[in-house]
Every structure is written in C-alpha cells, then in structure tokens.
Structure 1
Amino acid sequence: MLLLISFSFLKASALQKTSIQLMWLDQFQFAGFYIAKEKGFYEDVGLDVELKKYNSSINVLDEVLNKRADFGTNSSSLIIDKSNGNDIVLLGSVFQSSPLILLALKDSKLQYLEDIKNKTLMISKEQQRFATLKSMLSSKGVELSDMKLIEHSYGVDDLINKKADVMLAYATNEPFLLKEKGYESTIFNPKDYGFDFYEEIIFTSKEFAKENPKLVKDFYKATIKGWEYAFENIDETVNLIYKKYNSQNKSLQSLHFEANEMKKLAYDKNGKIGTITPEKINLIVNTYRIMGAMNNKIDVNDLIYTNPLNDDFLLNDEEKRYLEKKERITMCVDPNWMPFEKIENNKHIGIAADYIKIIENKIKTPIVLIPTKTWSESIEKGKKRECDIFSLVMTTPEREKYLNFTKPFLNIPVVLASNINAPFIDNINQIKHEKLAIVKDYAYAEIFKIKFPNINFIDVVNVKEGLKKVEKGEVFGFIGSLATVGYEIQNNYIGQLKITGKFDETLDLAIASRNDEAILNTILSKAIEDIPSIQRQEILNKWISINYPKEVDYKLLIPITIFLFILVLIYRQYLLKKLNKKLLDKVKLEIQKNEEKNRILIQQSRMASMGEMLENIAHQWRQPLSTISVCATGMEVKKKYNTLDDEEFFKSINHIKKSTQYLSNTIDDFRNFFSKDKILTKINISNVINKALDLVSTTFNSNKIVVVKHLEDINILSLENELIQVFMNIFVNAKDALKEQKQEQPLLIITITKENGFLNIKIQDNANGIKEDIIDKIFEPYFTTKHKFKGTGIGLYMSKLLVEKHLNGSLLVSNKTFVYEEKEYFGAEFIISLPLENSDD
C-alpha cells in the first residue's frame, strides 16, 4: 500500500500544472473540459489541469493576461480585445454558431428588438462586453444604455417574477428551463439579424503560447478529444455533470436538451470541432468595423494560433538556439546510388534528396551539399568532420565511432542480380564458388563479408560498375538493394540482367550526423518523425517501381496463359455479338420511349426540390443582406455627420461587394443544380453529402433533426448534381417521416463505407420505418402515401433511376433496428452502392 501511494504521488508530481478560466457556471457548455479531466486525456499528455470556476466578479480576459489562468474561454469580443492591444491568440471555437440570445417571456409582449428600450436587462459585467449582442442591438438602433441593467442571477426565476424583462441567455439552455417551469419564451437571436459569430472561444496569451508551445498544443488536443467523446457519449457525459458538476442543480432532462442543442452548433461542415477560419474572422472584423465597435487594424494571422496546433514538429529553445548559431548544415551523400540519391550537375537528386528538402523546410536551416565523386570519398570527409550529416546511411560499429543515427526510415531488401539466363538463387551457398560484386564501404558489404567469409567478393566503386561486370561475365552476380539494382536494370539492362535472388538481410537506412554535436541528431529525428506516412509513400512511389521473381520461372507459362485467355475472350465476344444482334432493335425502341419519360420525371423531381432550396437560399441570404444594409446605413449616418473618411468608405464598399458576390454564388449553385449537363467530374463524396445537407439545413434545423455523420474522404468520378438530387430526395423523405412521427430526438445517420469494390452510403432515420405492405412499392413512379412520402410520388423512383442508370450503382431500402448513444431505435435504412473503379482510393 505504501508503495502504491508513493507511486501515485510520483506520477502526480510529474504532471505539469496548468489552468483554464471558464466563462460561466457549470453545465454541459464545458463538457469537453470535464471529460478531458475525468477520462485522463489531460493526464495522458502530462498535464494536471485546474478548471477554474466562474463568478460574477471574474473578467476572463484579465485572468489570462494577469497570469492567474493560463487559458480562458470567451466570446468573439476577443477580436476587439486583440485590436485594442491585448496580445492574445485564439486556439479554437467550441461553437461554430453562437447560441447567445436575448430571452423574454412570451407574455411580456416584446415582439421587436426595439421594444426592449427602457426595459430591465439581466446581464453580467462580462457579458456586457459581448460584441455579438452589441452588434445585434446596434443594428436596430438600441444601446445597452437604453436599458436598466441588473446583475445576472444565473437563473430564469427573475424573468418569471418580473424582476427582469429580458435576460442574456443561451439558446441551448434557458429556453428549456423556462419550458420546464411551464412558460413559453420570446427569443431575439443575433443570427436572425445577420450576426452569426463564433462563441466559446478557447484562448491564451501570445506570450504563454510562445513560451509553452507543446503545453498549449497538448492541452488543446486533449480538450478537443474531450469534446468529441462528450458528443459521442451524451448519456454518460450528462450523468457525470449531473452528479459532479451541477452547481446549478439542473435536471437530467435539461442537461440532455443542452447537449443535443450544443451538438448542432459545434461541428463545422467537415464534421470537426474547434475550427476557426481566417475567412470567418475577417467577416466578423468587417462587421465590427461597420458597427463602429473597432477602429484599429488587426492581423488575423497573428490572432489565430491554429497552425502551431496542427504542426507536430516542435523544437525546444536549446534546439532553436543551436540552429541559429549553426546557420547552415553541411551534407555528404553517395554520388551515384539511384534511386536513393545521386549528384547530377552539382545537385542532389533522388529519394534522399526529397526527404532532405522536407527536413530543410521544417528546421528552416540551409542544408548544403559537399560534392564528392565516390562513396568512399564521402566517408572520409565524414570522418574529418567536413560533413555534418549523411543523407542516407546504414549503421555499423565502425561508423558509430564518429556518427549518430536517427531511427531507420527506409527498409529495403538486399537482392542478387545476374545474367538473364541465370536460375533463381534461394541460398547463397548455391553459388559459393562464384565471384560476386559488391560496393566497397557499403554497410551491407561489411555484413556479407563477415557472414559469408568463403564467398569471393569483388569490391566495386558503385552499382553501375558492379552491374557492368555482371553484363561482361566478369562476375556471376552483383549484390545490392532492390531499389538501386531494379532502377539500373529498368533503365540500362532490360533483357540482359534480372534479379535472381533475395536475401534475408535488409538495408535499414537512416540519416547520420556527427556525434560531437548530439543535439543535431535529436533535431533530425524529430523532423523525420514528423513526415507523414502518406508523404513518405509518395516519395517512394515517385522513384521506385520494382519486382523480383520467385523460384518458379513463369517465362513460358505467362504467354501461354495470356494466349488462352485471349482465345476465350474472342469466342465469348462472338457469342455476345450473335445474341445482341437479335435484341438490339427491340431494346433500341424501348430505350427511346423510356428516355423521354425519364427526362420528364427527372425534371419534375427537380422542380419538386425547388421549394426546399428556395427556403434554404432565403436563410443563407439573411446575413449578407443584413451586412449590406448595415454597411449602407453606417455610411449614410457617417456621411450625414461628415465623419466618413475614404478608408472607411472603401472598406464598406469592399464588404458590400463581397456580400454581393456571395449572393451571386448562391444563385450559381441554384442554376447548377438545374443544369442538364451530364459530365463526369472528380468529386469528394463527403463534400457532396454536405452540399445536399446544406440545401435542406433550414428545414432540418426547424424540425430539430440531429444529423450524425460518419464520413470518409473518398474521391470518385461521378455526376455531382445527380448525386445531390438523390441525397436531397432521401433527406426530405426522412424529414417528412420524422416530422409526422414527432420523435423526441429525430435522427438522421449517414455512414460511408467501402466493401468489395463498392462505395456504400447508408442513410438511416428513426421514424419507425416504412409499412411492410408498401415498402416494395416506394420506388414505383407516382406511388405516394400521405403517411410517409408526401409530394408527387416521383422522388424515390427518380433517385433509383439516377443511381442505377446514370451512376451504375444500386439503391435499396429496408427497415432496420439500430443503436445510437446506447438507445435502440427503429427506422428506414437506404443504402446507395456506387462502383469504386473510378476512385482515387
């Protein structure tokens, strides 16, 4: 027991302490932080995080700037704070769309925002800074000074007992609390006035981020992991908050409501949490300028800290100082070792050169080539410290006397190359009396000479000389790496030499650096580890495409097989032509009839989708139209009072032009949807699904439908408009069914998988399924039922037609039971299967 206690104490004391100041009282709003702490996500990255509680006297920005907390959460007002000289950086935003609202009782008779003048507003001092609120008020000529302000009590009772007429609240929280108490509410949402900003932004001081880049990155990534877990396990998270973080004594029902409402606002269009983009920050900045909330310039790139968070390559201060002092790094290479590397016209090329370019970019220090004519010359220069590093080398006991080595990042088989007529060699003892060429001073040459002392090895200067000796018959074979031997054979010895054997030994290649400057090896190791596996594979694919034979000689078998296969194909083609001749005329006539009918049905279906699209377009146009209105009004007022300068005028004009362009792009999207073009294009299936969801987002949001996406980035050649139309038809049918069933938590779950050469898109809802007596008829033209599928009755027929005829896929439907967040549901399941033969994956 004493040992266990001691171990726990040592583990705790090894954690690095840090803290975050929360911006409100305990609730699901901070679930990601609670989960990261309780599940050990912070501890996993070596952090002991204090979650600092909020009270009405707290100013979160001051807490961070005065170093009483390392991190904080706050609103988009942080952008104004940055423009006022507060040196902060934004890490990520929990809310992509702000839940901030003004809340009143429905019986208060407050119908318009202007009605709240001379009323009592309950708001905290911290919230009075919120620019989202102030922008909405200013757009309607209302200021905080027009109201009586009272301190926030953090509850809705003050609305009920008439102590306050209006309160600042979150749409994810207080409206439900009022409903629990039997009261209807009136909501003034900034989003409806064109102010759709970030909220719950995680931030820190620039000084802290600069001095602690690893801590900042680890804290943020663990926090996002906490949010992902919280939204994927809502029941578990709600129970945790209810039992341990419930200072407001909220009910389980209210916490569940808050969780599900937050989930709708937290994910970006790519299904990620925490996203902050320069484009949206610039939109917010321009809006603040127009409203007169900020006048100073701001460098958005200096404000957003996302690049260091996404960069896994971090050097400590000692490593940075070493590189600054070093100024440049000298490098020796093998001058003739393709495809690994070569010196050509005094330039380094090949696999190693591509790696070195990436590393040079990461460490931001020039790596300078020291030209040599042979590998042996390079080795000698390394011993004399004329080279700081070797670009690609294998460790040996001799080299370890003057070099340090990174972890090997290339593992290449060692093979034997012989004359084209030589048999396959599976054991080197079969040729123990033959001469074998091998490059002098190569690491594997030392290994082979020690392991096979009886073999007659002939030293050569490089691979070219070794293969030339094989060609001339001076030696039986040449031992080298699969990559270099294969490269030379393909380029110079096709039909003359071949690979006739493969050995158990491999070339484990790394970067080596002088061992009297050990820190250089640490830097290089970090840089190599930071190169993604995809990028490594791309480098190999660029330079290597080699195969070596097995023991069986397929020289005769392959041509014979090909010949027989061709004969079978010719005979099969003859039979098919004979059969097709009889069917051709009959099929041709039917095709002509069906094509005209299908064209009409497809156009009818698209017209049926127009209502959904127009409703969504109206929603999308609110913010740019509001921005244009605010810009024009702002210029008019400033012109009237002679305060409109040229800079402000052109900024406002530019913002109006951008908003106008956005409106124009929306029209283009609408026109493209109704285009008759049938051109195959490379599309990303996840992006297509998100576009279709965007087109129905307004009606989904109004019906509180939760969309759960399990998507993959897969590119295929297909017809984008047709796919969008298919998805829209299924989404709208699901929405209608969910709306009629009045589910407590309406769900639409979209899952992408790959199986047996097909891309499968599964779309599920929890609307209790389609009646068994009609499920086989729903793909028939003009079939409809008032219960589940309202409309013309052509949507699903057209969808099946598009998938199967135009996209060469299949569309099936069935009723299925499924589990989501530990709860069982029943509903319809549509599966679209598309061939992957044209994919990039």
Structure 2
Amino acid sequence: MKHLLLKLILINLFIFTLNAKENEKITLRLDWLNQFQFAGYYIAKEKGFFNEVGLDVDIKEFEYGIDQIDEVLEQKANYAVGKSSLIIDKLNGKGIVALAAIFQSSPMILLTTNLSIKKPEDLLHKKVMLTPDARTAIAINSMITSRGVNLEHIDFQQHSFNLNNLINGKTDAMGSYISNEPFLLKNRNIKFNILNPKDYGFDFYGGILFTSNIELENNPKRVQDFQKAVLKGWEYDFLNIEESIEIIMNKYNTQNKTYSALFYEANSLKKLSGIDENKLGLIEKSKLEEIQYIYTMQKYVQANQKLSNFIVYPSDVILSSIEKNYLKRNTLTYLSKINAPFNNGLGISSIELDYIDALKSKANMDIKIKNDSNIEESLDLLNKNQAYFKADFSNTPKSSDYLYTQAIATFDLAIATNLSKTYISSTSILENKKVAIRKDCLLLKELEKKYPNIKLIKTESTSDALKLLSDDKVYAVIDLLPLLNLNILENNNTSTRISGVTGLKFELKYILNKEDKVLQTILNKIIQRIDEKVKNEINEKYNILNYETTENISLFYKILIVLVLLLFIFVLYNIKLINEMKRRKELEKELHKIADTDELTNLNNRRKMIKILINSITISRQYKTPLSIIFIDIDDFKIINDTKGHAIGDNILKEFSKLINKNIRSTDTFGRWGGEEFLLILPDTSTENAKRTAENLKEIISSHKFKSKDSITSSFGVTTLKEDDDKKSFIKRADEAMYFVKENGKNAVKVD
C-alpha cells in the first residue's frame, strides 16, 4: 500500500512538472547603482507583478564599462533604462524603442555650494563637473548657453562623483541628482543653490525604459507584458513608499543608503514621475520633438530627421513581420448580414459596424464591408476565402470547423415588460408565464435549459416579440439589451420598459476560416488593445433606455432606518477610534523621544548615538570623506558626587552638555554615552582637525566657571575611521585613547 501511495505521489509530481510553465528569464540593465530611482522595478519583482505575466526578471545594476544600448542591441540584456539621449541613438539608426518615461522631468541638476552662483550666467569662468558623456548633460549645457554664456568660457572638469570636491571648493558646481546630493548637504547643514534646466525651459525625460526592435519583433506580447508589470510596479511603489524602502534596504541596498536618504529620494522622484497627474510612464510626441530640436541645435543630430517608430504605448497593437506582410497581401473583408441582430435596418447606426470601426481605428487598417443575404452564403465565403470574417450570431457553425476570436463585447440578455408590471429582480418570476423571444437568439437554448418552466413563444424578430407584448399576449420579451433598446425606441413603444436582466450574457466574437490562424492572432491582438472607454461609448450609444424599477416604499423606509442606525454607530465608533489613534500617536512620539533621548541632559542617548554613528560610517565610506570621533570624560566626577551630592553633579552634567553643544559645528553630533562619558561625532573631519577641536573644547571646559563654582577638567580620546574599521573597533580605539589620558595625568588629548 505504501509503495502504491508513493508511486501515485511521484506520478502526480511528474504530471505537475510537465504542466508547469516555467517563467521566461529576461534581463533588465539599470543605468546607475541600486537606489530608489529604480524602486518600481524591484517592486514589480518582489510583489509578483512580473511573475503574473510569466516573467523571471534579473535586475542588474550599472557597471562601469558596459553600455546599456549596446547590451540591449546585442541581446545580452532584453531591457534597459536610459536617458533622453536615446533619441540621438534612435536618429543615428540604432534599433531601439522606448516603452515608458518613468520621470516626466529629469532629476539632473547643477548643484553649487558657492552661494554667489544663483543663475547660469554666474558660471562664467567657473569650474563645473559633468559626466564624460556630454549627451547626458545637454539640458545643463543648453541652460547655460541660453543665458548667453559660451561653454568655452567654463572650466569643465571630469566628474569625480565625490561630493567633497564641491564642499571643499575643488569645483564650483557639480552635475547632481535633485533626489540625492541635496539631501546629503542638508544633512550636514551646508547651504547650496540649485540650477535646474527645467526652470529655464529645458525639460527632458528621465528614466526611460527601452528595448530593441529585435525584442519587439520576436516577442511583442512579452514586451507589453513587461511594460504593463513595470508600470504596475511603479504605481504600487509610489503609493507605498515606506514598504518600498524596506524592500530596498533588505534586498537592494548595495550603496548602504539610510532610510532617511531613501525617503528623501522617494518623495523627490514621486514629484518628477507625474503620477498625481496620471502621467506615470507617459511619453508625448510633442515633448520628444522639443528635445529633438535641442539636440539638433547642439549639432548632435542632423536637421529635418524624422523620429518615427520610437514609442511603444501600452495600448499599441504590435504586429510581427509575418502579420504585417499578411495585411499587405490581403484585404480584410467583414461579412455583415443585412438583417443580422445588430444590423437590422432600423435606421440607426449599427453596433456591429461601430465595433468594426473600432478595429479599423485601433490598428490603422482598412476593412472592407460585404453584405450577404443569409448565413449559408457567409459560411461558404468563409470556407473558400482567407482574410474574411464575420460576427458569430448563429448556432450553425461548429467550433472545430471555424476559428473564433476573443470576445470584443459582452451584452446582457435583458427582459422587457409593459409599464404596469413590476421590476423583475429574478428570472424565476417568469416561470409558467408566456415570454416572447426571437427564434434565432443565440442564447435561446441556454435559456431553455436554465429556465425550462418559462413558456417561450418564438418569433421571427424582436419587433414581432414586442408587438405581442403591446397586445398583452405575452408577459414579457427577452432579447439582447441593445436590440430591445433599439426596437423600443424605433417603434415608439412608450408603454414598454426594460425591467430586468436574465443573468445570461452574449459574447460578440468573430468567426473565420479554420486555416486563417494569422488573421485570428491579428484580430485578437487588436481586440485586446481596444480601450474600455471606447467599448463603453459604443455600448452606451445603444443602451438608450434605463432600467425601470418599482420599490416597496415601506420596505425602503425600514431599510433606511436600519442604515441610519448603523451609520450612527459607525460614526460614534470612528470618533472614538480617531481619538484613540491620536492618543497612541502622541504616546508613540513620546516613547521615541524617551528611547532616543537622555532624560537628564536632553542629549542623544547611547542608543541613538550608535544609530547616528552607523549612518555616519556609511556616508563616509560612500562618499570617501573622513570621519572622526571624540570620547570625553569629566575628570574626578565621582569625587564631586560623593562630596557635594548628586543634585550638584546632575547640574554640572547639564551645564557641561550645554557648554559643549554651544561650541561645536551644526554638522557635529554630541551625545551622552553613560555616566560622565560623552561621545562627539565629527563628519568630514580629518584627524588633525578633530585633535584641534578636542584641544579647543579642553580649554573651554577648564576655563569655564560652573554655577556650582567648581573648576572642571576633562580627558579626550580622538580617532579617525580606518578602512578595516567596524563600529566596535572604531569606538574601542577612541575609548582606549581617552582612558590612557585618565590614567596618565588627565586634562589632555590623546590621538590614536
């Protein structure tokens, strides 16, 4: 028995493995290192949006020496992220297409800490750091030249990507991202000015997702599936910024960015994305033409070049070369039966033909309309000809004899009655009643099967059925909603209304020659891309009459009273809930303060100082800036406590804390480590400058007259971050230097 069970399990696993469809493996290349700038792609992967469309995406961050465009063209990567300069590559003959612009305005700016530089004219004879690829800096260069400054009169430097070069004056302005470097300067209390090309009329796209013509030709569905998943990822990302940051910090934080830095970046980029204006991913031809004009003026492309076949919109119909050749060789012909249900000569434009117009418009192709007199003639033409198709209005064709498209529209099988009848909430109300229905209604057999007790009276047409209703020979008429609407309106049946629906729905599909698989694929692609808004407009055009309803008034008021009571309870509960949430938020703030603040001195406590130190180490290593710390201990503090009491000791600690805070930079961080020990963190500070700071503080403390009239000295341990340091070794070195001073005379500075 056990062996049999094991065999069954193995067989099921084998079958499951055979049926399981492995996701397609594809690669996305980013144009910089991992950060929030690419969060939408991470979200699409981590939240399963790529998986939903059968894709397994390998996201690769920027690597020096690798050109994203060449990588995509050589099919080493399927997709990549680039800048507006992709326009130049396209015009120069490279086979690429743009799928989405994640940022409606580029985050690229010029950043300066030289506050005398307030406008582009002020850059004359100044040093400016830009990337080696001048094409990516076109917006900045155009901004400068537009103000009458010759680029030859600016000292351009190769970009070092080291913010200290800007801070220390090695350059006057630096190409930066508005979402990154300003945060770092703000964090260090360094004032700066921003020169943004957008403010001078040079508004370029940023973060353009692109692929190759080869990928588009060979895998059109994959391209649009990937595009759809990416935009879904970005939309989720900007609506759930905190969650996105957590994902980045856990899986993609190769730059070791802090939560605060990512949060700042996220909110800066959200503003550039245009998501609040429903512009996420949008690429406008008019804006591309403006950018192309700027590239032309800068001589990067020739004049009068046409930028064609560059944008692939999510709603585009993407045809393969085989499908394009099919349309070149064949004229599509739509067979429309003269008195078919949706083309019944009522003198009103046909819903059937409106959908054909939608097909033509969506794919920008011609479809010839051919009228036939009967179903046999239509089927004979379908059997003999490819490139012919017709709407499926009949039960005659068998699925194995013809090909069918996806449904282009869905219609309710509705119920019409005279005004004297009440609203029909359930089709079962019609049981044992006479109901008229068109004899060739496609849903007739399904209706008979589902409701066998309805006495169906079959008529030649919808108009004949409505005549029976007006003569009170039947209780109701059942037909497709648009047909009932049209016939009631055309025949001026003022005493007739739509009283309900049966729950059955008719799907409008097209049938075609069973060998015509290419046409089936073409039509399905077009149907998938017809906008829901277009479909709704067509349907509403023919759903002219509204459903009429008759309600039980007493029941209505009973329900209303119950709803009002429920609403009152709900509002009362929510007021209590809101007050409780406010109280909890206030408590949470207080708890955060207690958790991070020393109660006596109101300084950062040890826990908070460790957090700040870890963050400072990350920034120091990322931007290759020196970081120093100073441990400070009040000499002989135990004697003060023992001889004068803890109250005096506490007052000295408070006064000591204020004295240090008053005499350090705004970029420095001071906190109580414990007892009479304190830690001072000095970002962007060399060993020599840290020692000078410690010597200065030592003199200030020893010369200060405390309110208790005590004279106090302190011992200082100074060290600077080394390459192989971690947090513990860094702290230990400063701590040991301080204790060396305490054991060797006190009131001194020791550097280790």
TM-score computed with the length of structure 1 as normaliser: 0.53
1:98 aligns with 2:100: no
Deviation at 1:209, TM superposition (A): 3.3
Which residue is equivalent to 1:691?
A: none
- Alignment partner of 1:154 is 2:154: no
Following superposition, the deviation at residue 171 of structure 1 comes to 2.4
Query: 2:235 aligned with 1:237, yes or no?
Result: no
- 1:455 and 1:120 map into 2 onto residues whose CA distance is 88
Where does residue 19 of structure 1 map in the other structure?
27
What one-letter code is carried by the residue in structure 2 that aligns with 1:259? A
Of 244, 256, 281, the match for 1:274: 281
Name the SS of the counterpart of 1:94 in structure 2: strand
User: Structure 1 residues 1-10 or 502-511, which shifts more?
Assistant: 1-10
1:335 maps to what in 2? 339
Q: Secondary structure at the match of 1:354?
A: helix
Given the superposition, is the C-alpha separation of residues 494 and 249 from structure 1 closer, same or farther in structure 2, using an over 3 Å criterion?
closer
Structure 1 residue 513: deviation in Å? 1.2
Structure 2 match to 1:299: 306
Partner of 1:33, secondary structure, is helix
Change (3 A) 1:518 1:100: same
| Farther off after superposition, 366-375 or 236-245 | 366-375
Q: How does 1:313-712 map to 2 (within 5 A)?
A: 313-315=317-319, 319-320=323-324, 322-333=326-337, 335=339, 337=341, 340-342=342-344, 349-363=349-363, 366-373=366-373, 388-395=388-395, 399-400=398-399, 402-406=401-405, 409-413=409-413, 427=430, 429=432, 441-443=440-442, 461-464=460-463, 483-484=482-483, 487-492=486-491, 494=493, 506=504, 508-514=506-512, 516-517=514-515, 519=517, 520-521=519-520, 523-546=522-545
Q: Structure 1's 296 and 302: CA in aligned 2 closer, same or farther, altered over 3 A? A: farther
State the distance in 2 between where 1:451 and 1:178 align: 72
Determine if the alignment matches structure 1 residue 63 to structure 2 residue 71. Answer: yes
Question: Are the counterparts in 1 of residues 98 and 210 from structure 2 also a CA contact under 8 Å?
Answer: yes
Q: How does 1:126-275 map to 2 (within 5 A)?
A: 126=133, 129-139=136-146, 140-143=148-151, 146-147=154-155, 149-150=157-158, 152-160=159-167, 164-181=171-188, 183-267=190-274, 270-275=277-282
Residues 482 and 546 in structure 1, CA contact (< 8 A), matched pair in contact too: no
- Whichever residue aligns with residue 90 of structure 1, its letter is A
In structure 1, C-alpha distance between the alignment counterparts of 2:178 and 2:474, rounded to whole Å: 82
Q: Secondary structure at 1:106's aligned position in 2?
A: coil
- 1:437–1:316 CA distance, 2 compared to 1 (3 A): same
Q: Is the 8 A contact 1:73 1:200 kept in 2?
A: yes
| Alignment partner, residue 569 of structure 1 | none
| 1:466–1:300 distance in 2 versus 1, CA, 3 Å | same
Report the alpha carbon displacement of residue 430 of structure 1 after superposing the two structures with TM.
5.2
CA shift for structure 1 position 39: 2.5
User: Counterparts of 1:667-816 in structure 2 under 5 Å?
Assistant: none
Aligned-pair CA distance for 1:302: 3.6
Aligned to 2:638: none
Q: CA deviation at 1:352?
A: 1.7
Cα distance in structure 1, aligned partners of 2:218 and 2:299: 35
How far, CA to CA, are the matches of 1:51 and 1:111 in structure 2? 39
Instruction: Report SS of the residue matched to 1:359.
Output: helix
Shift of 1:309: 2.1
User: Residue 374 of structure 1: CA displacement?
Assistant: 5.4
Specify whether residues 29 and 110 from structure 1 end up closer, same or farther in structure 2 by C-alpha distance, changes over 3 A only: same
**Structure 2 length-normalised TM:** 0.58
Following the alignment from structure 1 to structure 2, what is the Cα–Cα distance between the partners of residues 52 and 250? 18
1:146-188 superposed Cα distances (whole Å, 9 cap, x missing partner): 53633x4433133345555543222221233234345433444
Q: Which residue of structure 2 lines up, in the alignment, with residue 88 of structure 1?
A: 96
Whether the 8 Å CA contact 1:132–1:190 is kept in 2: the answer is yes
Q: CA deviation at 1:131?
A: 0.9
- Asked if 2 retains the 8 angstrom alpha-carbon contact of 1:63 and 1:69, the reply is yes
Distance apart, 1:237 and its partner CA? 2.6
Does the Cα contact within 8 Å between 1:278 and 1:301 map onto a contact in 2?
Answer: no
Gaps of 5+ in 2: 1-5, 553-752
Q: Is the 8 A contact 1:417 1:499 kept in 2?
A: yes
The one-letter code of the counterpart of 1:257 is: Y
Structure 1: distance between partners of 2:291 and 2:199? 15
What is the DSSP-based 3-state SS (H/G/I as helix, E as strand, rest coil) of the residue aligned with 1:342? coil
Number of aligned residues:
537
1:357 is aligned with what amino acid? D
Q: Quickly say closer, same or farther: Cα 1:309–1:491, change in 2 above 3 A.
A: closer
The Cα of 1:476 is off from its aligned counterpart by 10
Aligned-partner Cα distance in 2 for 1:49–1:127: 31
Whether the aligned pair in 1 keeps the contact of 2:99 and 2:208 (CA below 8 Å) is yes
The CA deviation at 1:135 is: 1.6
The residue type equivalent to 1:284 in the other structure is I
Structure 1 residue matching 2:44: 3-state secondary structure? helix
Give the AA of the match of 2:40: G
Shift of 1:293: 4.8
Distance 1:505 1:251 in 2: 56
**C-alpha displacement of 1:270:** 1.7
Deviation digits for residues 280-322 of structure 1, max 9, x if unmatched? 233333334445554433324543x1xx423164455555555
CA-to-partner distance for each residue in 1:106-143, whole Å, 9 max, x for gaps?
38x66765665666554432366421122234344343
Q: Which has the larger radius of gyration?
A: 2
Q: Quote the offset at 1:449 in angstroms.
A: 8.3
**Partners of 1:505 and 1:122 in 2: how far apart?**
68
Residue type of the alignment partner of 1:79? I
Equivalent residues of 1:392, 1:511 under 8 A apart: yes
Query: Which stretches in structure 1 are left out of the alignment for 5+ residues?
Result: 554-841
Instruction: Return the letter of the residue paired with 1:74.
Output: G
The change in CA–CA distance for 1:223 and 1:121 in structure 2 (over 3 A counts) is same
Deviates more, 1:163-172 or 1:408-417: 408-417
CA deviation profile, 1:730-777 (whole Å, cap 9, x unmatched):
xxxxxxxxxxxxxxxxxxxxxxxxxxxxxxxxxxxxxxxxxxxxxxxx
Does 2:318 match 1:311? no
1:79 maps to which residue? 87
RMSD between aligned alpha carbons?
Answer: 5.0
Q: Distance in 1 between matches of 2:18 and 2:524?
A: 29
Equivalents in 1 of 2:376, 2:264: separation in Å?
Answer: 72
Identical aligned pairs, as a percentage?
33
- Partner Cα separation in structure 2 for residue 430 and residue 111 of structure 1: 84
Post-superposition Cα deviations, 1:61-89, rounded to whole Å, max 9, x if no partner, equal 44334443333333333333334444433
AA aligned to 1:170 is Y
Residue pair 1:72, 1:203 contacting (<8 A) in 2 also: yes
CA distance in structure 2 between the partners assigned to 1:177 and 1:364 by the alignment: 51
Which residue matches 2:679?
none
